[in-house]
């Protein structure tokens, strides 16, 4: 069986393999910063057409793998950037990281295509493909980055995320892409255009009838723009810290109600630097300040967010709990450590310890906020199980992500979380893009990438709880199961009923 699945006869020819790879790469152009959704639909639709014409399930699976490899190679190309920060130590890993990540994630697409071909029909493919995209948000701690549904992050259709989150957007996207591959292509194209138009009109209507409601509170976002390759250099540490202090103290029309520094913006252990924290509070004129740094704990270092009071005292603390594999900790660390593979973002390469889990912090005069450090924001499941907050507060260091696509894709996911939860997002990023986002995903204020800046903005008011924030992925999971059971039942009926087979 394995030989049949992986042997030469099971694989499509090289021209078809290359075509699938290219179509997958085309599909990735719907992601930020390109946001070329027509090209994305063309690429995804082309893959569905190849699936439709695959003679066997193994050939369909290989087509899915090739398409996924092309898609993720483009969408996640920024993954090489962290390895180039310290190129002498980590540079050799860059091509392997992209190759294995793209190839590994593409296996999920291969499963979707292969299993769907066994079941039969385009509905099976759309359901399986959506299910595999959902699975990668939890598999091996999860990595739901550049999900197919993210192509709508800058378009009105994004508003559908309030109903069903990213899974609904993914299902909708693949349904639209599949239309022209039905037996009557023109009819299918018409149905696809109708679905696209309905989603677009619905989103535009939501945006036009829900103007952003501002509170009477203002926030100041500090963007020190510390280049990652210099960030921890002893000759530059003091300069970057002083830059952040100066930006904090910059004149304002009125004192901001909250000042937010980015992730790891304090270069010294937070629990060993009371003088530094006091100086930061002094520069803020006694206003509340959120800072990011590291805490030295009994179980190791922790990536930490702290709310400072008027005298620099620590009023509230949050420790990051969803750590980045191979960045903040190394799976199978002892074995891989012997090979010289250590966490890039961790102190001394030794890895971080995870915090106890999600928690709310109370911001004076603003109310409860859900703190998120860096890529914790990309996981909708981490936003569940707590009382509803007034905002999502993200601090991040996107300098790791380079300049091409990573920072833009991270910002796009912040917009998606805002719509899903019906909450504003306040994000401070070391090198950008710092932004304030309203509950409908509109950016009300933002900085530019790779510029030292301070951003003063009004804080948007939260909207009502959304359907998705209440029910999470469960309705979509149920829908996918029903679709697959129905398709399997239809296939069984056709296979045992000669009359149905003839029809």
Residues 242 and 258 in one domain: yes
> What pLDDT does 212 receive?
82
Query: Nearest 5°: phi and psi at 283?
Result: -65, -25
- What pLDDT score does 155 carry? 98
pLDDT tier at 501, thresholds 50, 70, 90: very low
430-445: average pLDDT: 97
145-149, 150-154, 327-331, 479-483: the lowest-pLDDT one? 327-331
Q: What is the pLDDT of residue 85?
A: 80
Q: What is the structure's pLDDT at 103?
A: 96
Q: Say yes or no: 16 and 105 in one domain.
A: yes
Q: What is the DSSP string of 279-292?
A: HHHHHTTT--EEEE
282 and 222 in a common domain: yes
Band of pLDDT at residue 287, cut at 50, 70 and 90:
very high
- Distance CA(410)–CA(433), nearest Å, equals 9
End residue of a domain, out of 354, 373, 400: 354
Instruction: Give the pLDDT confidence score for residue 2 in this predicted structure.
Output: 44
Domains of the chain: total? 3
Q: 84 vs 138, which has greater pLDDT?
A: 138
Which of 354, 369, 403 terminates a domain? The answer is: 354
Task: Give one DSSP letter per residue of 247-266, joined into a string.
Answer: HHTS--SS--SEEE--TT-S
pLDDT score at 1: 43
Same domain assignment for residues 368 and 349: no
Residue 63 burial by Cβ neighbours in a 10 Å radius (0-12, 13-18, 19+): buried
CA–CA separation, 9 vs 437, rounded Å? 52
Catalytic residue check, 263: yes
Range 100-137 burial, b when 16+ CB lie within 10 A, else e: ebbebbbbbbbbbbbbbbebbbbbbbbbbbbbbbbebb
What average pLDDT does the segment 36-61 reach? 97
Residues 185 and 262 in one domain: no
Residue 144, number of CB atoms within 10 A of its CB: 22
Beta bridge partners, 292, equal 305
pLDDT band at 502 (very low <50, low <70, confident <90, very high): very low
Report CA-CA distances (Å) from 390 to 70, 408, 438. Answer: 40, 25, 11
Are 72 and 145 within one domain? yes
Which of 81, 374, 376, 420 is flagged as catalytic?
A: 374
Q: Identify which has the larger pLDDT, 60 or 350.
A: 60
Q: Final residue of a domain: which of 354, 372, 401?
A: 354
Instruction: Let me know whether 458 and 484 are in one domain.
Output: no
- What is the average pLDDT across 418-422? 98
Catalytic entry in 217, 320, 328, 420: 320
Instruction: Provide mean pLDDT across the span 273-299.
Output: 94
Longest alpha-carbon distance in the chain? 84
What mean pLDDT do residues 41-64 have? 96
pLDDT at 95 over 70: yes
Are 383 and 298 members of one domain? yes
pLDDT at res. 408: 98
Average confidence (pLDDT) over 69-94: 88
**Residues 55, 99: one domain?**
yes
pLDDT digits (tens, 9 = 90+) for 169-219: 999 999 999 999 999 999 999 999 999 999 999 999 999 999 888 999 999
Q: What is the pLDDT of residue 92?
A: 85
Examine the domain organization and report whether 91 and 179 are in the same domain: yes
Q: How far is Cα 265 from Cα 270, in angstroms, rounded to an integer?
A: 10
pLDDT for position 350: 58
Residue 496 confidence class, pLDDT cut points 50, 70, 90: low
Region 399-408: mean pLDDT is 93
The secondary structure element, H or E, covering residue 471 is helix 467-471
Q: What span, in angstroms and rounded, lies between the C-alpha atoms of 175 and 59?
A: 22
Q: Which residues contact 351 (CB under 8 A, 6 or more apart)?
A: 300, 301, 328, 329, 330, 333, 342, 343
In 397-493, DSSP assigns E strands to 425-429, 435-437, 443-446, 453-460
pLDDT at position 493: 75
Q: Is 374 a catalytic residue?
A: yes
Clarify whether residues 41 and 105 are in a common domain. Answer: yes
> What pLDDT shows up at residue 126?
98
Residues in contact with 56: Cβ distance below 8 Å, sequence separation at least 6, in sequence order: 10, 117
- Tell me which residue of 230, 241, 224 sits closest to 276, measured CA to CA: 241
Mean pLDDT of 405-429: 98
C-alpha 55/C-alpha 68 separation (Å) is 19
How far apart CA 32 and CA 173 sit, in angstroms, is 16
Whether residue 500 has pLDDT greater than 90:
no
Strands 258-260 and 289-297: parallel
What value does the mean pLDDT of the chain take? Answer: 91
- Overall average pLDDT of the 465-480 stretch: 97
Q: Which of 81, 133, 263, 328 is catalytic?
A: 263
Res. 4: pLDDT tops 70:
no
Instruction: Specify whether 109 is located in the same domain as 237.
Output: no
State residue 25's pLDDT score: 98
Q: Is residue 50 within 8 Å of 19, Cβ to Cβ?
A: yes
| Domain encompassing residue 440 | 214-320+358-467
**Cα–Cα distance, 405 to 473 (Å, whole number):** 27
Task: Please state the rounded mean pLDDT for residues 16-44.
Answer: 97
CATH number at residue 226: 3.60.110.10
Contact 453, 469 (CB under 8 A): no
């Amino acid at each position: 069986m394995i030989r049949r699945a992986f042997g030469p006869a099971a694989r499509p020819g090289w021209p078809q393999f290359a075509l699938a790879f290219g179509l997958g790469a085309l599909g990735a152009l719907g992601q930020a910063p390109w946001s070329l959704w027509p090209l994305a639909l063309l690429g995804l639709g082309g893959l569905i057409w190849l699936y439709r014409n695959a003679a066997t399930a193994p050939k369909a699976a290989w087509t899915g793998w090739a398409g996924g490899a092309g898609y993720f190679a483009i969408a996640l190309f920024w993954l090489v950037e962290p390895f180039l920060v310290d190129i002498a130590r980590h540079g050799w890993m860059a091509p392997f990281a992209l190759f294995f990540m793209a190839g590994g994630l593409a296996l999920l697409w291969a499963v979707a295509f292969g299993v769907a071909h066994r079941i039969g029909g385009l509905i099976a493919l759309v359901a399986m493909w959506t299910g595999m995209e959902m699975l990668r948000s939890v598999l091996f701690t999860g990595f739901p980055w550049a999900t197919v549904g993210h192509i709508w992050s800058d378009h009105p259709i994004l508003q559908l995320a309030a109903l069903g989150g990213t899974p609904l957007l993914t299902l909708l996207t693949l349904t639209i892409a599949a239309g022209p591959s039905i037996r009557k292509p023109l009819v299918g194209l018409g149905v696809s255009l109708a679905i696209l138009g309905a989603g677009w009109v619905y989103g535009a209507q939501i945006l036009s009838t829900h103007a952003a409601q501002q509170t009477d509170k203002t926030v100041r976002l500090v963007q020190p723009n510390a280049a990652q390759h210099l960030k921890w250099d002893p000759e530059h540490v003091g300069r970057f810290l002083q830059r952040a202090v100066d930006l904090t103290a910059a004149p304002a029309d009125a004192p901001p109600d909250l000042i937010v520094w980015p992730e790891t913006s304090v270069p010294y252990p937070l629990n060993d630097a009371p003088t530094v924290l006091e100086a930061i509070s002094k520069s803020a004129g006694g206003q509340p300040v959120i800072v990011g740094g590291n805490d030295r704990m009994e179980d190791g270092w922790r990536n930490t967010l702290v709310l400072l009071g008027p005298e620099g005292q620590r009023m509230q603390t949050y420790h990051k709990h969803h750590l980045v594999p191979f960045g903040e900790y190394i799976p199978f660390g002892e074995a891989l450590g012997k090979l010289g593979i250590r966490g890039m973002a961790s102190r001394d390469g030794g890895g971080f310890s995870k915090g106890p889990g999600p928690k709310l912090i109370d911001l004076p005069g603003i109310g409860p906020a859900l703190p998120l450090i860096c890529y914790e924001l990309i996981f909708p499941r981490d936003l569940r199980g707590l009382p509803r907050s007034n905002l999502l507060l993200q601090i991040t260091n996107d300098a790791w992500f380079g300049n091409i696509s990573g920072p833009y894709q991270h910002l796009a996911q912040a917009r998606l979380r805002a719509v899903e939860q019906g909450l504003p997002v306040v994000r401070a990023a070391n090198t950008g893009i710092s932004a304030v986002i309203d509950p409908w995903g509109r950016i009300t204020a933002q900085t530019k990438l790779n510029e030292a800046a301070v951003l003063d903005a009004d804080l948007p008011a939260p909207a009502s709880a959304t359907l998705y924030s209440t029910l999470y992925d469960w309705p979509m999971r149920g829908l996918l199961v029903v679709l697959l059971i129905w398709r399997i039942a239809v296939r069984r009926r056709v296979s045992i009923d000669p009359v149905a087979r003839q029809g």
